[in-house]
Amino acid sequence: MVIKGTLTFSGDKSISHRALMFSALADGESRISNLSTGADVQSTRKCLEACGVEIKDEGNEVVVNGGKLSDPIDSLDCGNSGTTTRLLLGLMAGQGINATFIGDDSVSYRPMNRIMDPLYQMGLKSKSNDGKLPITIRKSELNGIQYKSPVASAQVKSAVLLAGLGASGETSITEPVLSRNHTEKMLSGLGANLSTSGLTTTVSSMTSPLSPFDLAVPGDPSTAAFFAASATLVPNSVIVLNRVLANPTRTGVFATLEKMGAAMERLNQWDEAGELIGNLKIWHQPLKGVIIDENDVPGLIDELPIIAILATQANGKTKVSGAEELRVKESDRIHALCKNLKKMGADIEELHDGFIINGPTPLKGANIETFHDHRIAMAFTIAGLVTNGDIVLDHPECASISFPEFYDVLENLKQ
Ligand code: S3P
């Protein structure tokens, strides 16, 4: 079996969430195409609709009529989506909405203090379950703050900036390492008064609504990474990935693949609506181990599960450190990777903030605990391409959180 083909992906999950949210703040009609088909983005859509935003499907486009948010009657159900929860908490706080946020078991265990702390400092009246969901927010007068975030998190940064749109004066946030910058790029493109200097972004109170827009969402590099890995791992494979988001805050996985010795060619790159997009060709080549530290982590945080799989087949040592954030994702991904990879015969050592893998080791088939985590399910499915024996996932359906088409697309590439 080899992996061969050309793929164009549905839209990037981070940009899709933001496109829906920012069009909800814009005064008038926005048209979005190639929106992510994942369940997380549907959660954002449903929450916005519950707040009175009119969103309809028209052919390949999603049409949003924004500008008029109202209090929802029922709780806002954020499903499995941390991005929906954290960004909407900031956005709704800034817009003076009264709402209660709930989510599934995974989101309900994830830390929300990281955004509630700055929102309290801004003057938000709210009640939480000891820093976790359910969280109720009450319409409050917000004041701008200068916030120094202890974590490099685009969700924290975005929540603070979105609340800042509705706060008096200026709101700024400084992060320890640059995280994905889609919020900054999109908001300033849509007319917000926003500036970035080094690791600090400052936004002023919104004096007029954002401008409505048309956007074709670029392909998701986090999804593309699984297919890039499949072609890298399986001898004689070659794959072309078209129209993938190439924003440098998101392409750490491709830079890492290159450091590992992967065979890759950037066919062309262009700019669309302020974001870099590109086509990539990747083919099989033996890999070597790589060192990833806290400065690299924000640029490839969601890709560490698939990087771990690649590392088991790479020559030498791979060390990932400074990645304690992996413990508070959709699952504790360090634990999920170590537990499952050990079962498969990999040489992996768990660290509090990462892992060490010595490769290459042959992998054997196993029953995989996904912990209902889409990226664990997809990473171990790709591992299954090179195992001796079958990989059986306990909850394969969780891949639909970001890419419902994952298994079909992979099957079509097998020749
Ligand atoms: C996201 C930010 C990241 C990432 C998540 C999406 C975003 O989370 O892991 O999948 O769209 O802002 P953190 O901000 O918690 O690192």
Three-class SS of residue 6? Answer: strand
**CA proximity to 349, closest of 384, 311, 293:** 311
Q: What is the pLDDT along the chain (415 residues), one digit of tens a residue?
A: 999 999 998 999 999 999 999 999 999 999 999 999 999 999 999 999 999 999 999 999 999 999 989 999 999 999 999 999 999 999 999 999 999 999 999 999 999 999 999 999 999 999 999 999 999 999 999 999 999 999 999 999 999 999 999 999 999 999 999 999 999 999 999 999 999 999 999 999 999 999 999 999 999 999 999 999 999 999 999 999 999 999 999 999 999 999 999 999 999 999 999 999 999 999 999 999 999 999 999 999 999 999 999 999 999 999 999 999 999 999 999 999 999 999 999 999 999 999 999 999 999 999 999 999 999 999 999 999 999 999 999 999 999 999 999 999 999 999 9
Q: What is the pLDDT of residue 333?
A: 98
**Residues in the chain, how many?**
415
Q: How far is the CA of 27 from the centre of ligand 1 (A)?
A: 27
Three-class SS of residue 166? Answer: coil
Check whether residue 241 and residue 387 sit in a common domain. Answer: yes
CA distances to 24, 26, 174, 223, 336 from 206, in Å: 14, 11, 20, 34, 42
Q: How far is the CA of 346 from the centre of ligand 1 (A)?
A: 28
Count: domains in the chain: 2
Check whether residue 149 and residue 239 sit in a common domain. Answer: no
- Which CATH number fits the domain that encloses residue 101? 3.65.10.10
Write out the two tokens for 86.
């954290």
Which residue's CA is the closest to the ligand 1 atom numbered 15?
A: 153
Cβ within 8 Å of residue 117, ≥6 positions away: none
Ligand 1 contacts CB of residue 155 (under 6 A): yes
Residue with tokens 């560490």: 304
Which residue's CA is the closest to the ligand 1 atom numbered 10?
A: 302
**CA proximity to 62, closest of 15, 38, 29:** 29
Check whether residue 294 and residue 267 sit in a common domain. Answer: yes
Check whether residue 225 and residue 204 sit in a common domain. Answer: no
Ligand 1 contacts CB of residue 83 (under 6 A): yes
- Closest-lying ligand 1 atom to the alpha carbon of residue 183: 12
Which residue's CA is the closest to the ligand 1 atom numbered 9?
A: 302
Last residue of a domain, one of 193, 216, 239: 216
Check whether residue 124 and residue 209 sit in a common domain. Answer: yes
Check whether residue 205 and residue 242 sit in a common domain. Answer: no
Write out the two tokens for 364.
């054997």
- Closest-lying ligand 1 atom to the alpha carbon of residue 157: 14
Check whether residue 203 and residue 259 sit in a common domain. Answer: no
Ligand 1 contacts CB of residue 14 (under 6 A): yes
Q: How far is the CA of 274 from the centre of ligand 1 (A)?
A: 20
Q: What is the pLDDT of residue 68?
A: 87
Secondary structure element (H or E) that encloses residue 19, with its range: helix 13-25
Contact in structure between 348 and 338 (CB atoms under 8 Å): yes
Check whether residue 140 and residue 159 sit in a common domain. Answer: yes
Within a domain: 409 = yes
Distance between start and end Cα atoms, the chain: 5
Q: What is the pLDDT of residue 54?
A: 98
Reply yes or no on whether 302 is catalytic: yes
Ligand 1 contacts CB of residue 44 (under 6 A): no
Check whether residue 333 and residue 209 sit in a common domain. Answer: no
Check whether residue 88 and residue 200 sit in a common domain. Answer: yes
Catalytic option among 271, 302, 373, 408 = 302
Q: How far is the CA of 34 from the centre of ligand 1 (A)?
A: 20
Q: How far is the CA of 414 from the centre of ligand 1 (A)?
A: 31
118 preceded by cis ω (within 30°)? no
Check whether residue 172 and residue 260 sit in a common domain. Answer: no
CA distances to 83, 142, 329, 343, 382 from 122, in Å: 20, 5, 26, 47, 44
- Host domain of residue 189: 13-216
